[in-house]
Amino acid sequence: MYARDVLARYTSTRLGLSRSTVEQYRITATDFDRWNNGRRWTSDLVRSYMATTLERCSMATVNRRRGVLLTLWRFAQRSGLCDEQSIDVEKLREPKRSPEAWSLEELGRLVSATAGAKSHQGFGPKQWRALVLTMYDTGIRLNTALSLSASAYRRPRLVVPAEFQKSGRDFVTEVSQQTADAIEESDPPRERLFPWPLRRRAIWPAFRDVVESAGLSCGRRDLFHKLRRTGYTQVWILGGVAAATEWADHAGDLSASYLDTSLLPSHRFADRLPRPK
């Protein structure tokens, strides 16, 4: 059984799924099929896939892919596509690490480093600068940014269609003058605002090169996800949890996963308390 075939049936019966959700399902199905090559699904098989995937992805990513596979498996059972018993695979126990974001000084180094970024079939320094600044300003996810048509932007207004949002709502925002200038200088074509020309997975190692050239760390948690945590933290500082939640298109408070508390203004209450004699 191929995950892509089950996914095609699944999405045809779930008309309300956002494009970003469908894209995440598609990524998981494609990766699993490439690894599995049509073998019969079993709990041990999925555990083996999770172990292999953990060598190149975070625990959170592996758990998300597990969730997708379980969803497709149960749908296949209900639809009569398979007779096997349900998969029973435990989630990985993720360590509760404190979120890390870039400081404004580090973000400035990253933006400056885009000037020396390698070009990929016309996607060069100007396009990198526009992409980084837009994601920082708006909080949009990478797949959403790469899917936006050029018509979604009219200086300084950016309209993200509901089908690209996990919340299922249109997101209308304005970018800064710095970002607006960067977008105009990138001279986007009519089709896409950020016309990445290669397969989407290729943008991750390309961005890693940019981050490394800025002298910043480049672990699994230090790429586009860190850019979102950086924007989230700054919005939280300015407007609190409600503003940050709306900015990030979250259904609830995810500060525990996104807010870098080390960047918050320091409040040394101990120095201000009345001192005992």
As a whole number, mean pLDDT of residues 209-219 equals: 93
The Cα 267–Cα 119 span in angstroms is 44
Mean pLDDT of 198-219: 94
pTM of the model: 0.74
Confidence of residue 121 (pLDDT cuts 50, 70, 90): very high
The answer on pLDDT for 84 being more than 80 is no
Residue 267 has pLDDT above 70, yes or no: no
For residue range 14-24, list pLDDT tens digits in order. Answer: 877 877 788 88
Instruction: Specify the number of domains making up the chain.
Output: 2
113 and 232 part of one domain: yes
Beta bridge pairs of residue 160: 171
Q: Residue 154 — φ and ψ, nearest 5°?
A: -135, 105
C-beta atoms surrounding 159 within 10 Å: 14
Full residue range of the structural domain in which residue 57 is found: 3-78
Mean pLDDT to the nearest integer, 112-117: 98
Residue at a domain's end among 78, 93, 127: 78
The verdict on 28 and 63 lying in the same domain is: yes
156 preceded by a cis bond (ω within 30 of 0): yes
DSSP state at residue 15: T
Residue 133 lies in a domain: yes
Residue range 174-186, pLDDT digits in tens: 999 999 999 999 9
In this structure, the answer to whether residues 170 and 253 fall within a common structural domain is yes
Spatial separation of the C-alpha atoms in residues 180 and 192, rounded to whole Å? 16
| Contact of 258 with 228, CB cutoff 8 Å | yes
Residue 171 DSSP symbol? E
* Same domain for 120 and 37: no
Supply the mean pLDDT for the chain: 91
